[in-house]
Structure 1
Amino acid sequence: MDIVRDDGLIAYPTDSCFALGCRLGNKAGLDKMREIRHLDDRHHFTLMCHDFAQIGHFVLLNNSSFRLVKASTPGPYTFILPASKEVPRRLLHPKKKTVGVRIPEHTVTQAILAELGEPLVSTTLLLPGQPEPMTMGWEIKEALDHQLQAVIDSGEGCGVEPTTVIDLSDGEPEILRAGAGDTSRFE
């Protein structure tokens, strides 16, 4: 993971689909993700975390949010929650001061996160104008080779649908995007 530690931007597989990712303090990587995806400052980036304990360092969880997140992870869910002071300001939603968090259920992603020892700042690899995220490593390399330092292609595939995004920042679950995860427990 020297590429990530040296402020590289990578594409990597997850249990939902490929994602773009960089180190938490990598401002240039964050800017490059915004550029590639055409994102504004209201986009919720996701902190891809290794485990539940790591999530607790970066977001504030009340009892009901704690139970919902704990019961749904690891898996294809991204949760929007109030950020702790550990989260750099440039990652926060400008008005709500929130950030996305997620624990993936993908062997390669978990290995990356364990080796890195910190979350990856991530966003779904969905290019502007494309109806679906990219799912093939060779396709990503071909399209973004000059903008990424690495494409991790595990050979074991990944999902083809983005995560389900649940906003828990106001206490009650609000489904912002129905995706790979079952939404019934949040309705």
Structure 2
Amino acid sequence: MARIIRIHPENPQQNAIDEVVKVLRDGGLIIYPSDTVYALGCDINNIRAMERLAQVKKVKLEKAQFSIICNDLSHLSAYTKPIDTSIFRILKNNIPGPFTFILEANKNLPLAYKGKKTIGIRVPEHNIPQLIVEKLGHPIASTSIKDDDEVLEYTTDPELIAEKYENLVDVVIDSGFGDNTASTVVDLTSGEPEIIREGKGQL
């Protein structure tokens, strides 16, 4: 049964953030707000949690395309190949923001990502995920929550999300209504930005 933890989006309570981080460290799954839609997340270094995340999304872990949520650009060099100045400038000008940037991965990816040639990096412009990652000490794996209803593609109400996912996740963070437009996905692997999915962000 998922716990609902209410966290203020502008002034997140530190004890609530600590509670969420403890759940992540224990291998739990969380649903958290971002600058776009509500998303599912777990500790990227916990293989069991990653397997659970894949199960919830009904995909095999090796086929999953989970983004990595960072709190700033400092994690980039840990997981990506060196990037040139023009690409770094694009990242610097658009992060934090509603973008997922696809970059070439290096060989230091966590176990669940092993063998992947590229990785999606995201730094949401939202206090809650930024503070969670900062406190955890490394990024979290993430995937958007999609609705089964074709008309309403993303669920925006945290209470409805909690009802739907109550037996699948450990914590649902309620910080008010979310957006219903996902991030813009930008492929930077060729050296020139290529928009893979139009979303909330304008480069």
Q: TM-score, normalised by structure 2?
A: 0.81
Q: 1:78 to 1:173 in 2, by over 3 A?
A: same
Task: List runs of 5+ in structure 1 lacking aligned partners.
Answer: none
Quote the Cα distance in structure 2 between the aligned partners of 1:92 and 1:133: 29
CA RMSD of aligned residues (A): 1.9
Q: 1:93 to 1:104 in 2, by over 3 A?
A: farther
Partner of 2:104: 82
Q: CA deviation at 1:128?
A: 4.8
Q: 1:177 to 1:42 in 2, by over 3 A?
A: farther
Report which of the two structures shows the higher radius of gyration computed on alpha carbons.
2
Quote the Cα distance in structure 2 between the aligned partners of 1:140 and 1:174: 32
Partner of 2:44: 24
The 5 A counterparts of 1:88-103 are 88-91=110-113, 94=116, 97-103=117-123
Runs of 4 or more off by more than 6 Å in structure 1? none
Partner of 1:72: 94
Q: 1:93 to 1:145 in 2, by over 3 A?
A: farther
Q: 1:104 to 1:47 in 2, by over 3 A?
A: same
Task: List runs of 5+ in structure 2 lacking aligned partners.
Answer: 1-20
CA contact (8 A) 1:83 1:92 kept: no
CA contact (8 A) 1:80 1:101 kept: yes
Alignment partner of 1:152 out of 165, 173, 192: 173
Partner of 1:14: 34
Q: TM-score, normalised by structure 1?
A: 0.87
Q: Which moved more, 1:73-82 or 1:49-58?
A: 49-58
The 5 A counterparts of 1:164-179 are 164-179=184-199
Amino acid at match of 1:132: E
SS at the partner of 2:174? coil
Quote the Cα distance in structure 1 between the aligned partners of 2:201 and 2:131: 22
* Percent of residue pairs bearing the same amino acid type: 36
Q: CA deviation at 1:121?
A: 0.6
CA contact (8 A) 2:97 2:124 kept: yes
